[in-house]
Amino acid sequence: MGTESFRLFFVLIIILFYSVLANYYNHHHVNINRQRIILNGLFTHLHYPSIHFALEQVNSQLLSQINLEFYLNETEGFIHCDVGSSVKTFFDMINQSSSPLNILFTDACQNVLNYIAEIATYFHLPVVSFTDSDLSLSAKDRYSYFYHIVPSDHAHNLVRKQLLQYFNWTRFGLIYQHGSKYTLVANDLSNLTAMDKKQFEVNLTRGLTYRHGLEWDADNRKYMQTLLKDFKARDVRIIIANFNQTIATHMFCQAAREQVYGSRYQWIILGYPSLSTWWNEPTDCSMQEIIRAINGTLQTRVPRLSIDDNENRSEYITEYMKQFSKLEKDYFDAYAYDTIWSLAYLYQSHLLSDQSVTGVFKNVLENIDFIGATGRVRYLNGGRIGEVLVEQFVACRMMKDNTCTIPCYEEEENCHLTVVKIFLAKYLESKHDSPILYKLNPIMWHGNGPPRDRTNQTIQFEHIYLSVFISISICSGIGLFISCTFLAFNIHFRSHRYIRMSSPTLNNLILGGCMLAYISMILMGINSSLFPKRSFVEIIMNIICPIRMWILCISFTLAFGSMFSKTWRVHSIFTNINITKKGIHDSRLLAIVGLLLFIDLIFLIAWQIFDPIRRTLVYTAPHRLKDNPDIEIIPYREECKSKNMTLWIVVLILYKGLLMFYGSFLSWKTRHVTMPALNDSRYIGLSVYIVFICCTLGSLVVFIPSEQMQLSYFLRSFFIVICTTATVCLVFVPKIIEVYRDPHSKKRQPKVTNRLHGNYSRPTMLTIQHLSTALADNEGLKLVLSMQEETLNRLSDQINNSQTGNNSICDYEPFEFERLIVCDDEVEDDEVDDDEEDPTIEDESSVHFISNDNILQPGRVARAVSLCLFNKVQTGQLQWPESPIPTRYSIPTNDNHYRASNVASNNLFRQACQNSMNINKNMQKLKVEDNRSSPNKIEHSYDSLVLLDEDRLDEMIETDLVSSSNG
């Protein structure tokens, strides 16, 4: 019994001891039956407490179930970012290992990893990095056994693309540091955005070469300044930059100097996995300048620890996250922790297949999916699909709940930067989808909102305002109505004497030209904005453009050409008396207008055939709004142009200008002519002046910038309205008044009396030569008068002798008595009217002019002498022959009309006339010599010279001319 009790007690002791021993081995990972997996580590430093914490967890929990354990071989020490020493350490590890290497676990820098990963391919050795994200190592054809748990730079580019879409930024520029890491990131982003060319536009890409050393500082600064000026010149607002921390500090220093920051610019940089404040590196700028430039900058960075609260985390991960603050020594501690768990899940899956470790890494790694310390851990093509954080640098004095409560402003000092988490980019269930941005905190902008990615260019069609066009069209319509009214009046009263004497046909042409001018104003204001359907706008405008020029040219020719022809007729009558014997009929004036119109048609047809006028869109220099400099207006307008438009316009202006200048010259020469037979001659002259002035001022419109469309159109229309309306009113309003006063044309027309100087109230400026000539003429007239008195006495004696029956024969030669007399009464206007076929032309062709500037003409002297002689003769003593010879002179008296007969002329009278003519010639010669010798003699005002019985002489001139035209 005792023996059995003892045996039972002994068994219990053994069981208890075995339990305690098993429990001890379980806690201390001591199991001689487990398979040890050696993780060979190449670390830059030996302090990764998270790795040891993870090894304890996976060995005691996950790997113990499959009789495996991890062992970290870190006896080789740590390596530097030196390719030679690092590769040597790696080969030493391979040679000294007693068993084949299973996995190489490293945090080596990128330039070392390139060589190690490539060498590991030949040994079929998986290389796992928990710090590197370089895109160059993602080339699986070259680095088949390289894997990384940190999201690659491609993931950052995906998030950047999401940022661009989120803030509607489609235009951006790239700055990258020369080197494989940063160059590949820039190229990858360009490729991502190039897939959607309609949405994104990489406006400018610049590489940056930076040389370290004090001797290169000046060159580096100059290069950065040039680069930033290029971005400003190209108006690049969104700048995505990839460079290291040193270059970043110097770049933002130059950005502060060039003012490439603030409300108009947005920097997005590739964040740095560093716990230090990288902007504290010394530069030429003050800290306040750098903070001012960095303020508001966005960066994409992998989170040190997942900030997403996920309930699916295991208790081991939760325990680690609670201990993380105590264990953290490096930015990538959490990623090293998740790497150990990833390898543990990978070896757990290896038991389910007969594949080697290499095969597991290639085929099973992408099936791993768990919630780790850095978020959801999944792999695709050997790379991690993880979370990416979007952060913003905020210049703030006080933060509360990741929100700046007291921000710093640019002019303030003693300000510091705070990094605020803005977005968290996470992937959904599909690994191939783009990440989704989850907003964490509000973003702070310099302005009222996110900066624009460009100066918004708004293409604006500049045209004549509708209000201006309607106003000018109304004025044109009023002018057209007035012109049509005058045209109806002119046609209705064309048989009225006053209208008939003013050439109504030419007046109709003037009205037609004025109406076309009014129409041209409307055509000049028509533009594409007036047509709702855009499909036929170009065709319509290509028709309207040449019509504008045609109508404007023809209207000028009809209106001004008619006025020019009338002015030419007045000047021709004035300067050439012989032409009045034949007369200038309206047909000749119409021929002049037709010739001018024919020249216009030839010119316009040639223009349209060889260089047609078409609608052309002209874009002008853009300008920005004062209240919003981010909006740029690109104005464009349509113009009617041809290739050689300037040449054609110059030829047209020269032709029209010469015609207009000559017409104005003729009007000036005949400015003092008043001709009742041409009752509108003075008004036509005034119209010519107005047209000349308006066209001259209107030609200055070409110097107005073409952008000032409203002003240019208004001035052109204004001058057209002024000259056209003035012409119409000056020509036709006096006619309407005259017809109103005498509607039945019963009023007798005024005598055809024409003077160049009708105003005799002002003193006449005469020179000494004029006075001497007048005195000499006076002496000659006195001599002739004495001769005539003697002749008159002899004639009286002859008549008395014939009455008394004394038939004594005189020895004097016969002379023509009718040359010594003229009529003292006028021929009635009604007789003239009855004999005239064309009153206008006949009155014009029978006019002689008397100039105050010339010496008295012989004809006027003869008439004056005859008049004096006639006044001395007693008409009651005259007895005329029974069969008198008819003459063209009629001498009406109170009782009878007499005719003169030919009588003998006196030799003494002829000699006196010859002496008078010689005196006049001598005085003319003296006058010419005196003018040559004494050009500077003082002019005297002499008011005592009065024409001899001016009204009486004009009546005789009219009687003479009318009688001669009828005879």
Q: What pLDDT does residue 930 have?
A: 46
Share of the chain above pLDDT 90, in %: 18
Rounded alpha-carbon distances, angstroms, from residue 456 to 275, 462, 629, 647: 39, 18, 9, 39
Q: Which pLDDT score, from 0 to 100, does residue 337 have? A: 92
pLDDT digits (tens, 9 = 90+) for 395-426: 888 777 777 877 787 666 778 888 999 999 99
First-to-last CA distance in the chain?
191
Query: In this predicted structure, what is the pLDDT of residue 100?
Result: 63
CA dihedral 694, 698, 700, 701 (to 10 degrees): 160
Read off the pLDDT of each residue in 315-331 and give the average, rounded to a whole number. 84
pLDDT of 241 above 70 = yes
Q: How confident is the model at residue 27 (pLDDT cuts 50, 70, 90)?
A: very low
Type of residue numbered 61:
Q
- Reported confidence tier of residue 284, pLDDT bands at 50, 70, 90: confident
Residue 725: alpha-carbon gap to chain centroid: 33
Q: Which two tokens stand for residue 211?
A: 């040389």
What's the pTM value of the predicted model, to 2 decimals? 0.59
- Mean pLDDT value across residues 41-52: 81
Task: Give the CA distances from residue 615 to residues 516, 640, 643, 765, 892, in Å, rounded to whole numbers and listed in that order.
Answer: 22, 5, 11, 61, 76
pLDDT digits (tens, 9 = 90+) for 843-876: 333 333 333 334 444 444 455 555 555 444 443 3
Closest listed residue to residue 903, CA positions, set 881, 888, 886, 875 = 881
pLDDT at 954 over 80: no
Please compute the mean of the pLDDT values over residues 7-33 and round it to a whole number: 51
Q: Domain 468-614+643-741: which topology?
A: Rhopdopsin 7-helix transmembrane proteins (1.20.1070)
* pLDDT bracket for residue 901 (50, 70, 90): very low
For residues 420 and 391, the answer to whether their CB atoms sit within 8 Å is: yes
- How much is the pLDDT for 447? 80
Q: Are 490 and 507 in contact (CB under 8 A)?
A: yes
Closest CA to 59 of 34, 32, 22: 34
What is the average pLDDT score of the chain? Answer: 75
For 649-692, the pLDDT digits (tens) are 889 888 888 888 888 888 787 776 665 545 566 777 788 888 88
pLDDT category, 358, cuts 50, 70, 90? Answer: low
- Least reliable range by pLDDT among 226-230, 775-779, 908-912, 944-948: 944-948
Region 329-356: what's the mean pLDDT?
78
Mean pLDDT in residue range 573-584: 57
Number of neighbouring beta carbons within 10 Å of residue 546: 17
- Position 14 confidence tier, pLDDT thresholds 50, 70, 90: low
What is the DSSP track for 443-502? ---SSSSSPPSS-EEEEEE----HHHHHHHHHHHHHHHHHHHHHHHHHHHTTTSHHHHTT
Whether 128 shows a pLDDT value over 80: the answer reads: yes
pLDDT at residue 908, as a whole number: 41
For the residues of 44-91, what is the DSSP string, one character each? Answer: SSS--HHHHHHHHHIIIIIGGGGTEEEEEE-TT-B--S-HHHHHHHHH
Nearest to 130 by CA among 155, 109, 149: 149
pLDDT on residue 15: 56
Residue 646: Cβ within 10 Å count: 10
pLDDT tens column, 360-379: 676 778 888 899 999 899 98
pLDDT, mean of residues 626-632: 77
pLDDT at 90: 84
Mean pLDDT of 482-486: 92
- The confidence score (pLDDT) of residue 294 equals 92
> Is it true that 33-149+316-372 and 153-301+387-452 share their CATH fold?
yes
Q: Is 613 helix (H, G, I), strand (E, B) or coil?
A: coil
- The reported pLDDT for the residue numbered 742 is 79
> Between residues 30 and 42, which one has the greater pLDDT?
42
Whether the pLDDT of residue 107 is over 50: the answer is: yes
Res 810 pLDDT > 50: no
**C-alpha to C-alpha distances, 722 to 478, 552, 695, 714, 737, nearest whole angstrom:** 13, 15, 10, 12, 22
Q: How confident is the model at residue 156 (pLDDT cuts 50, 70, 90)?
A: very high
Give me the mean pLDDT over the 10-21 stretch: 54
- 503-529 average pLDDT score: 90
Highest mean pLDDT among 142-146, 478-482, 491-495, 502-506: 478-482
Q: Which among 744, 740, 721 has a CA at the least distance from the CA of 732?
A: 740
The pLDDT-based confidence of 820 (bands split at 50, 70, 90) is: very low
Domain boundaries, the chain: 33-149+316-372, 153-301+387-452, 468-614+643-741
The residue that leads in pLDDT, 757 or 372, is: 372
Instruction: Look at residue 515 in the predicted model and tell me its pLDDT.
Output: 93
Q: What confidence score (pLDDT) does residue 423 get? A: 94
Whole-angstrom Cα distance, residue 409 to residue 659? 72
pLDDT > 90? residue 273:
no
- The CATH code of domain 153-301+387-452 reads 3.40.50.2300
Cα 781 from Cα 916, distance rounded (Å):
8
CA 888 to chain centre: 77
Residue-wise pLDDT for 226-235, tens only, equals 999 999 999 8
- For domain 33-149+316-372, the CATH class is alpha beta
* Whole-number CA gyration radius for the chain: 58
Helix axes 645-669, 537-575, angle to 10 degrees: 30
